Structure 1
């Protein structure tokens, strides 16, 4: 039985559910924008880029973006995308890597209420004493920490959106026009 179904005292509060939902929504925004950034860095129109990146999680998207950043530095010598924007992308990617661990715990742990001000998550990976997973299958988060994590993700989404707007966009109609000739 899931942890939060074991008693009325372990059921998450509406505030807990709301904050977890906000985190999930912001992470979806992160993945969506990462796919768009990758498309633009690779000079791909949005729709074909989405087809390519749709099965990629944030970690794969981040790796691909890092490689595209290097491509712009080495091959295009920052003539298409400025060094400042590429540095901003790299900085945001590093920030996301730190946030991804907590996000993954939200996605893969079972959650219950410790009290109205704190929830705990358990991974149930069956880690044994002395294994690498020991101690990584449990986390407690206070409501204030949930709010802070959400705020960090919200800020990252804003930063990613600004970066996206600064990147050149390849229009799909430029390709389709050539196909009809």
Structure 2
């Protein structure tokens, strides 16, 4: 998404985004949307498409927080329909930490999260297709960029 919003080839964008956190990547996408609104005045994407990007970005935030909980907890099955997770976090317990140190997920909640994540990926793919792709080959062709010999 970010490479399309910034008008760069995907490989080049991935080179820069590979080392940044998911939160910073989402912030960069939100900032790119604002650039399209203010500087480019919707010439590349309509306001409706930019609103879709913001909406999907907020859905990613919600799923990312749940993904982090799943990834950073130790999970065990309570019974066939329920998982119990405890945090790997150390330190002196506090009232706030105690509330966040464990959680319970039902099998149906986990199944719904899986479906939501899959649906979000489908939405993202359709949304990315609404922006023009900058092909890497266009940067590498002789007519597109001067060589050092010129």
Fold match by TM threshold 0.5: yes
Residue number among 126, 132, 143 corresponding to 1:168 in the alignment: 132
| Match of residue 138 from structure 1 | 102
- How many residues align? The count is 144
What's the offset of the Cα at 1:75? 0.5
CA distance in 2, matches of 1:143, 1:122: 17
Match in the other structure for 2:111:
147
Q: CA deviation at 1:74?
A: 0.7
**Secondary structure of the structure 2 residue equivalent to 1:93:** helix
Residue pair 2:5, 2:32 contacting (<8 A) in 1 also: yes
1:91 match: 55
Distance 2:34 2:94 in 1: 41
Which residue is 1:64 aligned to?
28
Q: Is the 8 A contact 2:72 2:88 kept in 1?
A: no
Q: Secondary structure at the match of 1:134?
A: helix
Partners of 2:94 and 2:105 in 1: CA distance:
24
- Distance in 2, matches of 1:75 and 1:133, equals 44
Q: What secondary structure does 1:166 align onto?
A: coil
Q: What is the match of residue 106 of structure 1?
A: 70
Query: Which residue matches 1:50?
Result: 14
Shift of 1:179: 4.4
Secondary structure, aligned partner of 1:111: strand
> What per-residue deviation string (whole Å, max 9, x for no partner) do you get for residues 46-97 of structure 1?
1111111112332221111001001101110111111111100100111111
Q: Which residue pairs with 1:128 in the alignment?
A: 93
Which stretches of structure 1, 4 residues or longer, exceed 6 Å deviation after superposition? none
Pairing partner for 1:79 from 27, 43, 58: 43
- Aligned CA RMSD, in angstroms, stands at 1.4
